[in-house]
Amino acid sequence: MELVVATKNKKKLQEIKDILKGLRVEVSSIADYSGSPRIIENGLTFKANAVKKALKLARFTRKLTLGEDSGICIDALAGKPGIYSSRFSGSDKSDDKNNAKVLRLLRDLPLSKRKAHYVAAVALADKDGLLKVVEGKCHGRIGFESRGTSGFGYDPLFEIPRYKKTFAELGENIKHKMSHRYHALKKARVIIEKYIEKHNSG
């Protein structure tokens, strides 16, 4: 069975593949389907965007599809950048520019005021419609500078207090056992397994 992931982000796709390792599915992505529809992420929540991605691509491919939307919410910024995480620095966005903007906005704040959490919403759909949408979170704080070379997005800033290291310093092995995406995909995995079982027995 094939699982189509509604993303063109190669790093995110690889992370999803790593976390779902062992599932009896072949994981592909929107990049493998020419002429696939453009998906405009204009939902007001992570879940709304994830559902939109999953439904639109499932209708196009007629296959089991996973839509994911994620971002970082910073307490001192009233939850921003939130759903705008990937484009926080504007139309000329990049991970480095997004991180630089966050550091600039928080520059006068002590560590105790730099709490943040990552959120990931994962939606599963097939040609008949939405199957389920689940969410995962991971709590931490924003460091004072970018540290580490692993991961992507805000990983060089997002520090896990008990390790005193950022996701980018901890690396995939530790991150993939505790991240927001891990917690969401752990729930999604159960749904996918039941779906495979049902369709293989049918």
- Average of pLDDT values for 31-54? 93
Closest to 44 in 3D by CA, of 93, 79, 10, 15: 79
Q: Which pLDDT does position 59 carry in this prediction? A: 96
| pLDDT at residue 78 greater than cutoff 70 | yes
Strand boundaries in the chain, DSSP class E: 2-5, 26-29, 64-74, 115-126, 129-142, 158-160, 165-166
**Token duo for residue 119:** 């959120």
SS (H, E, C) 179-194: CHHHHHHHHHHHHHHH
Give the residue numbers marked as catalytic. 69
Whether the per-residue pLDDT at 202 is higher than 80: the answer is no
**Ramachandran region, residue 147 (left: φ > 0; alpha: ψ -120 to 50; beta: rest):** beta
**Domain coordinates in residue numbering, the chain:** 2-201
**pLDDT tens digits for range 153-171:** 999 999 999 999 999 999 9
For 2-201, CATH gives 3.90.950.10
Confidence tier at 199 by pLDDT (50, 70, 90): confident
Degrees, nearest 5: CA angle 21-150-171: 60
φ, ψ of residue 68 to 5 degrees: the values are -135, 135
